[in-house]
């Protein structure tokens, strides 16, 4: 993987840069930014390029629909970079004649970006490369989508000299550490759908000393153990015996359940009845203590909330965060659902917060991503 940080500054001075940034930020119903974490994560690479290159053109996406606009992101970025100019793709060539720092409207408004047809994706990438012209390079800094086979991820490097940005370099460094953590180590996995997480669980049972399961995935463990789970969210499939009874697996010993009227109580998982719905999981008080020694856990990897946080049931996750805050362990986390439960005031709990969710899990599972391979 070619790194931006390895290019001599003298070799950057006269370069024009096409930067793929990860600016996909959540918006509320009014279109206002809810969480600007990814915007702030993009700033170090932007500042580095602005200071050391001739011109920077930023491409990014927001949302999933072609009607989604990056304008809220532009207005936020403009607070940090007043000279930033916002333009449509069709007007980019003209804008480059007058502006040195440009944000191009949502690249996913062009259907070629996400096309399943390689020729279609390549036509967009080639078009961008031609607009940028000679003495230009491509910098990939959108780690959050480096697991996607999109034009701005895997096609552009075919037409331009390409490098990993500072954020991508940092992400890879921390995630590689997570694949060989200091001991004792703990992997905390929440969210849903065991079937999609099984390969990761199997891999990490070989790497981590213990694995704590929360969220709807825990419901699948309870059901496989023969417990009643009532109206709880449970996906199809059962837990293989070797994982279900692994001594490294830790399950919640207390869950919060709601009845048909919405009243909630905390009970043992084996006390759930058919009219109840599990909405949250409580991490055990000794979760961060190593069972084989007097040493507390030194490294923690966390992905996924422990309960139905969208419905307001975040107390289990809040307790987990309190435990993290009182720990001396290195803690890595990431993912949109995970970070939605963590207020900005608690970011300092973590050694590293990944800007990717699906990309983070894909990297941990495979040790690489298609978008990173494209930069080789």
Question: Domain check: are 45 and 186 in the same one?
Answer: no
Residues 307, 228: Cα–Cα separation, whole Å: 18
Question: Domain check: are 56 and 149 in the same one?
Answer: yes
Residues 6+ apart with CB under 8 A from 215: 189, 190, 191, 192, 281, 304, 305, 306, 307
Q: Which of 143, 169, 195 is the last residue of a domain?
A: 169
Q: For residue 373, is it within any domain? A: no
Question: What are the φ and ψ backbone dihedral angles of 93, each rounded to 5 degrees?
Answer: -60, -40
User: Cα 365 vs. chain centroid, distance in angstroms?
Assistant: 14
Q: For residue 367, is it within any domain? A: no
As beta bridge partners, residue 187 has 211, 301
SS3 label, residue 315: helix
Cβ-based burial of 295 (10 A; exposed 0-12, middle 13-18, buried ≥19):
exposed
Helices and strands in the chain, H and E counts = 13, 15
The helix (run of H) or strand (run of E) holding residue 257 is strand 254-258
CB 122 within 8 A of CB 108: no
CB 129 within 8 A of CB 110: no
H-assigned helices in the chain: 9-12, 37-52, 71-80, 92-95, 118-132, 166-178, 194-205, 215-224, 241-244, 315-325, 336-339, 358-366, 370-373
Q: How far is CA 81 from CA 36, 57, 100, 162, in A?
A: 15, 13, 11, 24
As beta bridge partners, residue 301 has 187, 332
Question: Domain check: are 289 and 309 in the same one?
Answer: yes
User: 95 is written with which tokens?
Assistant: 């804008």
Provide the pLDDT for residue 258.
Answer: 94
Mean pLDDT of residues grouped by 10 in the chain (376 residues)?
93 96 91 90 97 98 88 96 97 98 97 96 98 97 97 98 97 96 94 90 96 95 94 86 95 93 92 94 90 83 91 92 94 82 81 92 94 94
Provide the pLDDT for residue 267.
Answer: 96
Question: Domain check: are 44 and 104 in the same one?
Answer: yes
Question: What are the φ and ψ backbone dihedral angles of 32, each rounded to 5 degrees?
Answer: -85, 150
Residue with tokens 């996995």: 189
Report the number of distinct structural domains present in the chain.
2
User: 76 is written with which tokens?
Assistant: 């936020």
CB 243 within 8 A of CB 218: no
Q: Which of 142, 169, 196 is the last residue of a domain?
A: 169
Residue with tokens 């006390």: 271
Closest-CA residue to 92 (of 81, 104, 100): 104
Question: Domain check: are 128 and 39 in the same one?
Answer: yes
Question: Domain check: are 254 and 192 in the same one?
Answer: yes
Question: Domain check: are 160 and 185 in the same one?
Answer: no
Question: Domain check: are 197 and 148 in the same one?
Answer: no
As beta bridge partners, residue 199 has none
Q: For residue 368, is it within any domain? A: no
Provide the pLDDT for residue 244.
Answer: 95
Question: Domain check: are 206 and 326 in the same one?
Answer: yes
Q: For residue 372, is it within any domain? A: no
Residues 303, 226: Cα–Cα separation, whole Å: 26
Residues 204, 310: Cα–Cα separation, whole Å: 28
Question: Domain check: are 161 and 226 in the same one?
Answer: no
Provide the pLDDT for residue 172.
Answer: 97
Q: For residue 174, is it within any domain? A: no
Provide the pLDDT for residue 145.
Answer: 96
Closest-CA residue to 224 (of 215, 212, 214, 236): 236
Closest-CA residue to 117 (of 165, 149, 84, 160): 149
Model pTM score: 0.91
What does R_g of the chain's alpha carbons equal in angstroms? 23
Closest-CA residue to 272 (of 311, 235, 308, 219): 219
Question: Domain check: are 159 and 297 in the same one?
Answer: no
Question: Domain check: are 151 and 209 in the same one?
Answer: no
CATH of the domain at 198: 3.40.50.1260
Residue span of the structural domain in which 268 resides: 179-362
| DSSP conformational letter for 163 | E
Residues 209, 222: Cα–Cα separation, whole Å: 22
Q: Which of 117, 142, 169 is the last residue of a domain?
A: 169
Q: Are strands 55-59 and 101-104 parallel, antiparallel or unpaired?
A: parallel
Q: For residue 375, is it within any domain? A: no
Q: How far is CA 213 from CA 129, 216, 252, 303, 307, in A?
A: 46, 9, 7, 10, 11
């Amino acid at each position: 993987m070619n790194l931006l940080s390895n290019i001599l500054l003298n070799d950057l001075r006269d370069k024009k840069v096409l930067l793929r940034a990860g600016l996909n930020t959540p918006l509320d119903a009014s279109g206002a930014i809810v969480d600007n974490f990814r915007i702030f994560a993009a700033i170090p690479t932007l500042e580095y390029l602005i200071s050391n290159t001739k011109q920077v053109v930023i491409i990014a996406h927001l949302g999933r629909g072609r009607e989604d606009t990056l304008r809220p992101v532009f207005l936020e970025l403009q607070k940090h970079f007043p000279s930033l100019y916002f333009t449509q793709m069709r007007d980019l060539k003209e804008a480059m004649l007058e502006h040195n720092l440009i944000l191009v409207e949502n690249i996913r408004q062009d259907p070629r970006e996400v096309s399943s047809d390689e020729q279609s994706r390549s036509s967009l990438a080639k078009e961008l490369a031609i607009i940028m012209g000679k003495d230009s390079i491509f910098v990939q800094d959108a780690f959050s989508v480096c697991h996607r086979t999109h034009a701005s991820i895997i096609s552009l490097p075919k037409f331009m000299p390409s490098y990993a940005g500072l954020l991508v370099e940092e992400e890879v460094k921390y995630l590689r550490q997570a694949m060989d953590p200091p001991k004792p180590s703990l992997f905390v996995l929440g969210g849903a759908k065991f079937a999609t997480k099984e390969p990761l669980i199997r891999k990490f049972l070989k790497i981590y000393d213990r694995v704590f399961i929360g969220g709807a995935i825990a419901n699948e463990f309870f059901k496989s153990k023969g417990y009643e789970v009532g109206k709880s969210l449970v996906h199809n499939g059962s837990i293989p015996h070797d994982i279900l009874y692994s001594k490294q697996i830790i399950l919640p010993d207390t869950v919060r359940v709601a009845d048909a009227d919405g009243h909630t109580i905390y009970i043992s998982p084996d006390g759930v009845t058919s009219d109840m719905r599990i909405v949250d999981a409580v991490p055990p008080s000794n979760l961060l203590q190593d069972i084989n020694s007097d040493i507390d856990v030194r490294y923690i990897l966390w992905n996924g909330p422990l309960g139905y946080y969208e419905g307001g049931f975040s107390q289990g996750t809040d307790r987990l965060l309190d435990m993290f805050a009182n720990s001396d362990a290195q803690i890595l986390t990431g993912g949109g659902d995970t970070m939605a439960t963590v207020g900005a005031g608690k970011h300092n709990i973590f050694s590293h917060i990944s800007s990717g969710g699906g990309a983070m899990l894909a990297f941990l599972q495979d040790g690489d991503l298609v978008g990173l391979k494209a930069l080789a």
